[in-house]
Amino acid sequence: MKEIKDETADEFQSLRNGATPQVVSGMDRPYKAKPLGEQTRALRRQGIMVIFGNLGVMSTGLGLGLPTITNGPMKDTTAPVYLTDSQFSWFASLNLFAAPFGGLLSGLLLDKLGRKNTMYVLNVLGLISWILMAFTSQATQDSMFIQLMVSRFFIGVASGLASAPVGVYSAEISTPKIRGRLILGTSISVAAGITMIYILGYFIRDDWHLIAMICCAFQIIALICVIPMPESPNWLISKSRLPEARQSLNYFRGLEKKPVITHPEVLAEFNILQKNIQLGVGEKKPPFVKSLRLPEVYKPLLILMGLFTFQQVTGIFVIIVYAVQIAMEAGVTIDPFMCAIMIGVARVITTCPLGYVLEKWGRRRSGLISALGMGVCMALLALHKHLKVIPYLPVIAIVSFIILSTLGLYTLPFFMISEVFPQNVRGPASGLTVAYGTFVSFICTKTYPSMKDAIGGEYCYMVYGLLSFLGAAFIYAFLPETRGRTLLEIEEQFRSGKSKRPVDPVEMQEIMVK
């Protein structure tokens, strides 16, 4: 195969040998070549593989938004077989009850099987779920309900499993400068899946079997797309599969996929990875429970659990699951299914540039703006009957809530879960965190109908608004800033309690080579 020529190799080698850097005309600082991992070929490879991995995550978004479009047809009392209100509340929330099992399973599979094989498991579970739903028996109400519950349990396990592997994979194949954009693919995929199921519900309002069949076909495509994905070099190094690790790192840095590294920049990066990972592997690794005593483990764990708590108790998932019903109860005059599509599209559009926003604003500022804005939106939704002078206020409040939540509180926990844990506990710590977050999500989603009946929708929204303001206070007090820091720097920050200046990627590259 023809050797791939790197556009900066000669210049990098000359700089390494002590040559004077070129100065760009009109600028008063030396020109520095982009690291290989940030050049076009490498970015294209990283992006395509992350997209392939996230197709399976998109399927979990389909499952998450499904109750919104099936509430009417599944509870239709004129149908031969239908679900009661109580049965449908279980249908809407059982996937969230099952998700913690998937979160815990992801911790085990990420370390034992690797990132790629975990994605295979994710897609197989999703496929089983959609097949069960597409071919649900309607002989009796009980048989239909049981089969639907099994289907929802499988998609729930897949949802819990989906939160970590692709994000961890994205973080491990990328450089710090672009890491955020790639990790964000998971959130974009979930948002896109929710929007896709809303659109299907708009056009297919009475046949949920057909919708499940379409989702089944999509899941098969997602499963096939995992096949060409290289395994993460970090995991391969941790398993002492060094030739494969070199091939993987060469590939993701835009070079030929060889078991030998010849480029000095990639070789330096590989040596740093190997040293840090194998030092951890070589040490007597304590059980995960004992690792919880370490500040670099328990600090990010508690912070992310707190972040997940505020993510859920502010009503983010309630709005997703009950979007059509909330729109109708709020007095939205447009087609409630169209309002749901607007919510989904708003989330996707907001999520796409979020990588730039998080790199520009940082994690803390994004979280603060998000939580404060969500509190205002929930207050407006609660008071909309008293503010009739503002036209379409419920629509404005709901869509703005979705946009602002996506800017921070909805996305940050999933985004940061791939950044903050040390390599040796990244799998189980990520799994435990996701399990906790999805369990809180189940409680909030299952209890929303009862909460609404007990205190009324307006007071529910007021409670969500107050908790959003409390979430902003939590972010201000505890959330660390990880923007621009390598995974090793973030780990050291939690261990020592000191925040170091982020190192310029090219500067780090030169230090590693020396």
306-342 tens-digit pLDDT:
999 999 999 888 887 787 778 777 767 678 788 788 8
Length of the chain: 514
Entry pTM: 0.74
Say yes or no to pLDDT of 3 above 90.
no
Cα distances (angstroms) measured from residue 281 to each of 2, 112, 243, 259, 510 = 36, 14, 18, 22, 27
Q: Could you tell me the pLDDT band of residue 285, with boundaries at 50, 70 and 90?
A: low
The DSSP annotation for 329-342 comes to HTT--S-HHHHHHH
Q: What is the pLDDT of residue 28?
A: 44
Nearest to 462 by CA among 397, 409, 388: 397
- Please answer whether residues 297 and 423 qualify as being in contact, where contact means their C-beta atoms are separated by less than 8 angstroms: no
Dist. CA 347–CA 339, nearest whole Å = 12
Domain boundaries, the chain: 36-229, 232-281, 290-495
- Matching residue, tokens 């059980």: 287
| pLDDT confidence of residue 462 | 93
**Distance between alpha carbon 454 and the CA centroid of its chain, in Å?**
33
Amino acid at 289: V
Q: Which CATH class is domain 36-229?
A: mainly alpha
Mean pLDDT for 364-383 is 92
- Residues 353 and 211 sit within 8 Å (Cβ to Cβ): no
Nearest by Cα to 65 from 211, 206, 209, 180: 211
Q: 290-495 domain in CATH 1.20.1250.20?
A: yes
Residue 275 token pair: 């040293």
Q: Tell me: the pLDDT tens digits for 67-87?
A: 988 988 898 888 888 998 889
The pLDDT score that the predictor gives to residue 284 is 56
User: Going by C-beta distance under 8 Å and a sequence separation of 6 or more, which residues neighbour residue 170?
Assistant: 46, 50, 53, 179, 182, 183, 185, 186, 418
Which pLDDT band holds residue 26 (cuts at 50, 70, 90)?
Answer: very low
